[in-house]
Amino acid sequence: MKIACSSATFARAFAEGTLTQLEWLDLCANELEVDGVVFDTRDFPRDDADYLAQLKKSAADLGLTVAALEAGDAPATERLLSVAVTLGAPLLVIRAPGRSGEATAWGRFAADVKSAAAHAKRFNVTLALRAFSGTLCESTADCKRLAKDVDSSWMRFAISNTSEDDAALLSKSVIATHAIADIDNFATVADDEAPSLISSLARFRGFIVFDYDVTPSDHAAYHHALTRFAALRAKALSPPSN
């Protein structure tokens, strides 16, 4: 299990003009000390090839792995797959459309994902669908149904529910996400959440991304939370001494 930071975590700073994406990459490497980064399409000031190449080069120079490109609510178009390729992102994280009462909604959704997976194969980028409440794919059962209907190794999951019941889904997941509710308590001795998360993902070799809306006042708190989790992870997963 490796730790990645999403640009969405610092969306507020980007919007306010207090942080650029290049500065964010430096922050990820030298302050947060994460293993990788996830670019969110909503945070790009521009997405021309020269700018994307600059981001990719900067990440490489800083020793950061580009873990994924997050598409948000946007569909998995060839344009976004091309952006992922230019950035060097092996994954395009997508989500399902909102839940609908139409009888044909699921069939159209599954057909769209199946078509997108075929395009993804041509670009050599794996789709990672993230389940969200209120969408057509919000539960483990929905994800398993979609995997069966799409039947493509180019469609995997961005798992966010890491209970023991989801072991089967975890085997088809290529990236994990976790929303931090209490930034000051996360991964402290009083927290049961982080140890449970580490236990659930003990055999997971992908990246985990911690969702949190960082503000200037809790920038340091986010850093400390990641540091505590990394230390807890290292201790829990280290082999026992003789």
Domain extent listing, the chain: 2-236
Q: Cα–Cα distance between 68 and 94 in angstroms, integer?
A: 11
Q: What is the pLDDT of residue 219?
A: 86
Q: Cα–Cα distance between 162 and 199 in angstroms, integer?
A: 9
Model confidence band, residue 237 (pLDDT cutoffs 50, 70, 90): confident
**Averaged pLDDT for residues 91-102:** 89
**Averaged pLDDT for residues 165-180:** 84
Contacts 24+ apart (CB under 8 A), 156-161: 156/91, 156/126, 156/127, 156/128, 156/129, 157/128, 157/129, 157/130, 157/131, 158/68, 158/91, 158/93, 158/128, 158/129, 158/130, 159/131, 160/130, 160/131, 161/131
Q: Minimal CA–CA distance to 216: which of 66, 49, 12, 56?
A: 12
The pair phi, psi for residue 238, each rounded to 5°, is -75, 145
Q: What is the pLDDT of residue 139?
A: 85
Q: What is the pLDDT of residue 167?
A: 67
Q: What is the pLDDT of residue 133?
A: 83
User: Is residue 185 pLDDT above 70, yes or no?
Assistant: yes
Average pLDDT, rounded, for the chain: 91
Model confidence band, residue 193 (pLDDT cutoffs 50, 70, 90): confident
User: Is residue 230 pLDDT above 60, yes or no?
Assistant: yes
| Encoded tokens for 222 | 């986010």
**Averaged pLDDT for residues 206-223:** 91
Better-predicted residue by pLDDT, 239 or 197: 197
Record the pTM: 0.92
Query: Under 8 Å CB-to-CB from 87, ≥6 apart: which residues?
Result: 39, 52, 55, 56, 66, 69
Q: What is the pLDDT of residue 90?
A: 98
Are 120 and 81 in contact by the 8 Å Cβ rule? The answer is: yes
Q: Cα–Cα distance between 105 and 195 in angstroms, integer?
A: 39
Residue pLDDT, tens place only, 132-167: 888 888 888 899 999 999 999 999 999 885 544 566
Percentage of the chain exceeding pLDDT 90: 71
Q: What is the pLDDT of residue 132?
A: 83
User: Is residue 238 pLDDT above 80, yes or no?
Assistant: no
Q: What is the pLDDT of residue 218?
A: 84
CATH of domain 2-236: 3.20.20.150
Model confidence band, residue 235 (pLDDT cutoffs 50, 70, 90): confident
Q: What is the pLDDT of residue 240?
A: 67
Q: What is the pLDDT of residue 242?
A: 59
Q: What is the pLDDT of residue 31?
A: 94
Number of Cβ within 10 Å of residue 47's Cβ equals 16
